[in-house]
Amino acid sequence: MRIATWNVNSVTARLPRLLGWLSSAQPDVLCVQELKCTDEAFPRAEIAELGYDVACHGTGRWNGVAILSKAGLDDVTRGLTDQPAYEDVTEPRAIGATCGGVRVWSVYVPNGREPGHAHYAYKLRWLEALQATVLAESGAGRPFAVLGDFNIAPTDEDVWDISLFTESTHVTEPERKALAMLRETGLTDVVPRALKYDRPYTYWDYRQLAFPKNNGMRIDLVYANPAFAGAVSDAYVDREERKGKGASDHAPVVVDLTV
């Protein structure tokens, strides 16, 4: 089974590239983030033509998540256990489903904006809700993974120059502690291999020639329980999909399983 995750940064703007990538990479399951569309506007018909069932959770703002599957979509859950709201809005940032016996969650963790901002405190509360959801679901014995844009670089080596992030989100101790708490639930960080250069970055800003300079970050993660992690035969960042006109600023992360 091939399972992937990709922040497409607008499914409507990226639809031709999404359809092309689905046709070439042939994932059985794709977790998608940053839809920027409502459930009603999601391009179900075009994706269904490629053989995928769709479960999505979006309101048309800058977030939204989905799971595309050729392996079935059972027990779909929208939202986390006790998910917090931001400015009285419970945002569509998490969706779970069981696909061919594998339980997956597609997540788009809040950015946090900057340390000390209300959105940063919201990010940490949101990660607590994610931990509660993982504790409730990951121990059932079936393969289980949380995939998506975590907006956190797990280590200093996961950003191109840590000295530029001294007053920024994505690398702070509380954010990384939240990842450590996920690992304490029994999940493992499935680190993909890089197809070019020495670090498997997954995100490059559109500005300042970040992609050609490889000024990237590894913030799109796969956190998996032992049943999932033990079945991994390969994992890689499809860096080629970040190239060219109309690309997302994120690249897909692909994981192959022997299940």
Residues facing 55 on adjacent strands: 67
**Reduced to 3 states, what is the DSSP secondary structure of residue 126?**
helix
The strand pair at 216-217 and 188-189 is best described as unpaired
User: Residue 167's pLDDT is what?
Assistant: 84
| Backbone φ and ψ of 120, nearest 5° | -70, -45
Judged on CB neighbours under 10 Å (0-12, 13-18, 19+), 184 is exposed
Q: Which residues of the chain have pLDDT under 70?
A: none
DSSP 6-54: EE-S-TTTTHHHHHHHHHHH--SEEEEE---SBTTTS-HHHHHTTT-EE
Tally of structural domains, the chain: 1
pLDDT score for 139: 84
Nearest to 221 by CA among 4, 18, 69, 19: 4
Confidence at residue 63, expressed as pLDDT on a 0 to 100 scale:
95
- Spatial contact of 19 and 45, defined as CB atoms under 8 Å apart: no
Q: What is the pLDDT of residue 62?
A: 84
Cα–Cα dist 152/202, whole Å: 12
Annotated binding residue 215: no
pTM attached to this predicted model: 0.97
What CATH number should be reported for the domain holding residue 82?
Answer: 3.60.10.10
Helix axes of 173-184 and 118-137: crossing angle, nearest 10 degrees: 10
Tokens at residue 85, please?
């709201």
Q: Could you give the residue numbers annotated as active site?
A: 108, 149, 250
Q: Return the pLDDT at 228.
A: 98
Structural domain of 249:
2-257
User: Angle at CA 203, nearest 5°, toward 23 and 58?
Assistant: 65
Q: Is 256 annotated as a binding residue?
A: no
Apex CA 64: angle with CA 63 and CA 66, to 5°? 150
Whole-number pLDDT of residue 140: 80
SS (H, E, C) 154-223: CCHHHECCHHHHCCCCCCCHHHHHHHHHHHHCCCEECCCECCCCCCCCCEECCCCCHHHHCCEECCEEEE
Establish whether 88 is an annotated binding residue.
no
Return the pLDDT at 144.
Answer: 97
Tens digit of pLDDT for each residue in 194-243?
999 999 999 999 999 999 999 999 999 999 999 999 999 999 999 999 99
Contact 111, 91 (CB under 8 A): no
* Tens-place pLDDT, residues 60-78: 988 999 999 999 999 999 9
Is 249 annotated as belonging to a binding site?
yes
pLDDT of residue 77: 98
